[in-house]
Structure 1
Amino acid sequence: MNRLLLLIALVGISTVFGCSSSPSGGGGCGCGGGARGVLRLEGDDAIEEDFGEIYGLGLWASPKLPNNVSLSQAQDPNFHFKSCCAGRALSTACVARCNFETYNQALLQKMLIGVDECPLNSLPEMHFCAAQGRDHTSCCKAKGVDATTSGDKCLVFCDQIPDKFTPIDYTYAACFGKFDDMKQCFKSTIAAKAKSFFRHH
């Protein structure tokens, strides 16, 4: 990918970090007040994360599953990714791409040049859903996401906690090459959290 396309990519992703209180069409990762959920990994201390009324993440409000969701679905990171995209009112084409196997650099390039059915302005919502509104900084550091000429700046793409905004400029260009590492962090962390949180009741 040439420098120009990298910069276009950054412009496209730059709004990922501006969060609002509305779902798709509201300009960012929607969130709202509501009950708190407590998630934890095996052997870890409880981590409080405010899901409550966050659009697309309602399944995390309780370990008790709705009747229409099986345990295998609830423990599948792709199910959470796709459910979030649908819950945030993305187009059918975009929802179909909310899968960790298809959400990759190749897809981003197609979206950037406008040859994919999913429009570029849906990228912030998709990235938020892939991360499930969480901060994956620790995993990203372990994966070397900060080991580029952009350094620690790349870690901002790993933190998808709502209500944050970071202006993006050309100094973030090298981060695009670490996209797949970020995505792997999202997938592995969500899989571990889901396996721990959702159980037979």
Structure 2
Amino acid sequence: MGSSRSLLLFALVAIALPSVADACFALGGCGFGGCFAGCGRYCSARAKGAKTLSASKTLPSENPNAVDGLPDEGEPRANLGPDGLFRQCCEESGVPAACMDKCNYATYSSTKLRNMFFRIDSCPMEAATAIHYCASQGKDHTRCCHDRGVGMTSAGAKCLLFCEKPRENATHLDFSYMPCYDTFEEMKVCFWHDAVRTTGTNLEQNFALSTDSDEWN
């Protein structure tokens, strides 16, 4: 059933938005998406986000979703939890204001991505690659994703591409990647846990995801 839903989703997107799909359905290159027509304005993700994502441990905020008043670039990043770093990366990457509600691990979802693809959401789908890059912190989560079954769909190991450290050269996505849509939440679990660990926070209880330590890499 899941694969059928993915097939229908991507088929409709490809039919309804062929020019955009051809231009932006790629991973790697500049930021987490190649600098293709219509996507160039989000290609600053890798250059600007790198400073955010390489930050040393930060102090946990009382509320991980309260990220107002983020420091300007170059200022200390104290009190920024995982969601704070996620959002700051989005801001430094030029992600539009209409997309900022996606720059939060609790609200970044496959449903919202679907709505972006169908233009139901005001956030342009061209921004999806930069948002995903920021969610992953530009890191390699392959081991965690493998352990959580991301590579067990009919697309096989291809789905692990979404968990890898962004490549220098863009990988164009075709219909063979469609089943990967159904593993989105498993990928996000890996991104979230690593962000918690990186920032030295203890916020799993605030996020509706499994926190069994045996499941993590």
TM over 0.5: yes
Per the alignment, residue 94 of structure 1 pairs with: 99
Q: Does 1:6 align with 2:6?
A: no
CA distance in 1 between partners of 2:167 and 2:100 (Å): 20
- SS of the residue corresponding to residue 190 of structure 1 reads helix
Contact 2:45 2:90 survives alignment (8 Å): no
* Residues 1:63 and 1:157: Cα distance change in structure 2 (over 3 Å): closer
**Structure 1 unpaired stretches of 5+:** 32-53, 197-201
Structure 2 gaps, min length 5 = 15-20, 59-73, 202-217
Distance verdict in 2 for CA 1:193–1:2, change over 3 Å:
closer
In 2, Cα distance between equivalents of 1:28 and 1:89: 9
**Shift of residue 61 of structure 1?**
4.6
Determine the structure 2 residue equivalent to 1:46.
Answer: none
Q: How much identity, in percent, do the aligned residues show? A: 29
Q: Which moved more, 1:143-152 or 1:186-195?
A: 186-195
Q: Structure 2 counterpart of 1:133, which letter?
A: G
Alpha carbons 1:140, 1:155 under 8 Å: kept: yes
Instruction: Judging by fraction of residues, say which structure has more helix.
Output: 2
Distance in 2, matches of 1:62 and 1:191, equals 13
Q: What displacement does 1:168 show?
A: 1.6
1:59 maps to: 52
Q: Distance in 1 between matches of 2:123 and 2:149?
A: 29
Gap change, CA 1:170 and 1:193, over 3 Å in 2: same
Which amino acid is the alignment partner of residue 69 of structure 1?
R
Residue 45 of structure 1 is matched in structure 2 by none
Question: Which deviations, in whole Å up to 9, do the C-alpha atoms of 1:41-75 show, x marking residues without a partner?
Answer: xxxxxxxxxxxxx31232345538765532x31xx
Provide the C-alpha distance between the structure 2 equivalents of 1:97 and 1:152, rounded to a whole number of angstroms: 26
CA distance, structure 2, for counterparts of residue 78 and residue 159 of structure 1: 20
Letter in 1 for 2:112: L
Contact residue 148 and residue 186 of structure 2 kept, 8 A: yes
What count of residue pairs does the alignment treat as equivalent? 170
Deviates more, 1:156-165 or 1:56-65: 56-65
| Cα deviation, residue 167, structure 1 | 2.2
Q: Matches of residues 32-51 of structure 1 in structure 2 within 5 Å?
A: none
TM-score, structure 2 length as denominator?
0.68
Q: Is the 8 A contact 1:6 1:176 kept in 2?
A: no
Deviations 1:119-154 (A, max 9, x none): 101001101111111111011001100011111000
The corresponding residue for 1:35 is none
* TM-score, length basis structure 1: 0.73
